[in-house]
């Protein structure tokens, strides 16, 4: 049969992507909650895109004008969020797992299209896109709402598809001989350049000269001809980016992932045995987490990203109190919400060991707490470099929020890991511990609870009495600890434990 490339390759990729989507939808365990979740996302997007335009003062007040002035920067921020998300995941999320894709004749173009479709199922992307739609609606008011939102929707599509092109290019470079070192050096250089612009006071003037300023003018206040030209240009750019992304996707597919293979084939010298059973279990679980590529990349993004934003914005300590909750909720999404999937087929071996179930549960919870605390503390250290020395109230609020949100997130993660286990291979940098739509639900629930907690302690940090924060943390900590202990008792049930082990080792 002919093997030359032709336009039919693209048609085949589209058909394969449609079949994979149908396959993923058919594998959903509970159809009614799935349809409900899709409907909630659609209604939430519609409400965000229309609701702010109906608020008094939308499109005509001074506040609306201030929001309009910030729209060009918001457009750029969406691009940055999309790029960081796609690059950190090694080219975007997988529509089908790497091991399952081996036996199917799926092209890299199909993989590229699947990653594009899964990009919106990311809480950072969703929040940024919703924020952009809401800000646009409030800035323009009801008169020009539809044309402005059409242009913004096209920009969101362009940002996502362009970020995918960048992610595939970075992944291709990563798979070269010295690619990982080059990518890390480039990342450090880019971060240093942004910090230098901020220190010299040149960051705001640079942002004022971004080309999105003219785009916002054309979409929100320009003539009909300018709006039509902008829409046509954005549409053409989206199509070009989608097509162009297949090129680096093919280049990346021809090379082996060096980071993953280096860790999987590495030799680790045996260390002395731990004196306790719990210590041995913790050491094993800790190694499985810190030696995984997606965990290390995810920790770097979660810990450094918010910390740099806080550093650039020179946030005070009361504002920094909110960040540990956001970082911890993001860290749990790397593996915590399906913590037992780390064992994989090794879960069968783990169950044959002569150890108590409560020790296994405690070891996994301890390692997850270590991971979350490491990310949160890194963020606080980076963000506090320009915040001076915290007073007693701020220090007690930071300590309280670290303990409270860690217990909250660990308790919720271990509970969800027991309720809904999934068989996932987390060796791939593009894998997620649960299906995409389930991950959105987890992220929303975690972000909501930790943000509310962070805001509460942020307000208490402004009080002069440090004992108030510590006393307020007691009921939160007791409640989360009680729920964690209840989950531990369920794990000790052999029937529940067998159900989880069978699911994750399938």
Q: If you average pLDDT over residues 208-214, what whole number do you get?
A: 78
C-alpha pair distances (Å), 53 with each of 132, 145, 183: 13, 7, 42
Give the number of other Cβ atoms within 10 Å of residue 119's Cβ. 24
Q: Does residue 131 form part of some domain? A: yes
pLDDT at 1: 36
Give yes or no: residues 286 and 308 share one domain: yes
Average pLDDT taken over every residue of the chain: 84
- Reference 339, options 261, 411, 253, 240; nearest CA is 411
Give yes or no: residues 130 and 249 share one domain: yes
Give yes or no: residues 375 and 245 share one domain: no
- Residue range(s) defining the domain that contains residue 136: 41-263
Give yes or no: residues 252 and 333 share one domain: no
pLDDT at 264: 67
Give yes or no: residues 253 and 195 share one domain: yes
Q: Out of 62-71, 92-101, 246-255, which region has the weakest mean confidence (pLDDT)?
A: 92-101
Last residue of one domain, picked from the residues 263, 284, 314: 263
pLDDT at 433: 86
pLDDT at 404: 93
pTM for the full model? 0.83
Give yes or no: residues 411 and 465 share one domain: yes
Q: If you average pLDDT over residues 100-114, what whole number do you get?
A: 79
Give yes or no: residues 309 and 232 share one domain: no
Tokens of 259: 């980071």
Last residue of one domain, picked from the residues 263, 286, 301: 263
Contacts of 53 (CB under 8 A, 6+ apart): 59, 137, 138, 140, 141, 142, 145
DSSP annotation of 335 reads: T
Q: How far apart are CA 481 and CA 474, in angstroms?
A: 10
Q: Does residue 283 form part of some domain? A: yes
pLDDT at 4: 44
Judge whether residue 7 has pLDDT over 70.
Answer: no
- Reference 379, options 300, 290, 306, 457; nearest CA is 306
| pLDDT-derived band at 108, boundaries 50, 70, 90 | confident
Domain count, the chain: 2
Report whether 473 contacts 354 (CB < 8 A): no
């Amino acid at each position: 049969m002919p093997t030359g490339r032709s336009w039919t390759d693209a048609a085949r990729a589209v058909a394969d992507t449609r079949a994979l989507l149908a396959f993923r939808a058919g594998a959903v365990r509970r159809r009614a909650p799935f349809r409900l979740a899709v409907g909630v996302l659609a209604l939430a997007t519609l409400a965000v895109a229309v609701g702010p335009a109906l608020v008094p003062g939308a499109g005509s007040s001074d506040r609306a004008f201030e929001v309009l002035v910030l729209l060009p920067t918001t457009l750029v921020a969406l691009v940055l969020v999309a790029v960081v998300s796609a690059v950190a995941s090694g080219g975007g999320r997988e529509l089908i797992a790497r091991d399952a894709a081996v036996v199917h004749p799926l092209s890299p173009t199909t993989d590229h299209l699947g990653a594009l479709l899964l990009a919106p199922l990311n809480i950072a992307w969703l929040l940024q896109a919703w924020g952009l739609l809401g800000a646009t609606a409030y800035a323009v008011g009801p008169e020009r709402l539809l044309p402005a939102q059409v242009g913004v929707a096209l920009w969101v599509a362009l940002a996502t598809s362009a970020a995918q092109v960048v992610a595939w290019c970075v992944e291709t470079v990563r798979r070269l001989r010295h690619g990982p070192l080059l990518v890390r050096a480039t990342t450090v250089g880019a971060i240093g350049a942004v910090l230098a612009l901020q220190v010299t006071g040149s960051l705001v003037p640079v942002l004022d000269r971004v080309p999105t300023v003219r785009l916002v003018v054309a979409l929100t206040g320009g003539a009909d001809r300018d709006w039509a030209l902008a829409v046509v240009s954005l549409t053409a750019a989206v199509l070009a980016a989608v097509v162009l992304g297949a090129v680096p996707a093919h280049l990346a597919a021809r090379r082996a992932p060096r980071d993953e293979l280096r860790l999987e084939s590495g030799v680790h010298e045996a260390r002395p045995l731990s004196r306790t059973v719990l210590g041995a279990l913790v050491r094993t679980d800790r190694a499985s987490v810190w030696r995984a590529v997606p965990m290390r990349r995810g920790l770097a993004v979660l810990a450094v990203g918010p910390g740099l934003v806080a550093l650039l914005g020179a946030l005070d300590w009361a504002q920094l109190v909110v960040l540990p909750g956001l970082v911890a909720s993001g860290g749990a999404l790397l593996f915590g919400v399906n913590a037992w999937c780390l064992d994989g087929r090794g879960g069968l071996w783990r169950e044959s060991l002569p150890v108590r179930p409560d020790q296994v549960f405690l070891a996994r919870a301890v390692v997850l707490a270590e991971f979350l605390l490491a990310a949160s503390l890194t963020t606080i250290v980076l963000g506090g470099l320009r915040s001076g020395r915290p007073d007693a109230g701020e220090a007690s609020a930071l300590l309280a929020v670290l303990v409270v949100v860690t217990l909250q997130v660990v308790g919720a993660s271990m509970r969800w890991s027991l309720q809904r286990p999934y068989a996932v291979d987390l060796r791939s940098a593009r894998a997620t511990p649960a299906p995409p739509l389930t991950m959105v639900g987890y992220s929303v629930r975690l972000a909501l609870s930790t943000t509310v907690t962070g805001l509460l302690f942020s307000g208490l940090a402004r009080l002069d009495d440090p004992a108030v924060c510590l006393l307020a943390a007691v009921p939160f900590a007791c409640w989360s600890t009680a729920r964690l202990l209840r989950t531990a008792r369920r794990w000790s049930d052999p029937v529940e434990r067998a159900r989880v082990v069978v699911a994750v080792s399938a």
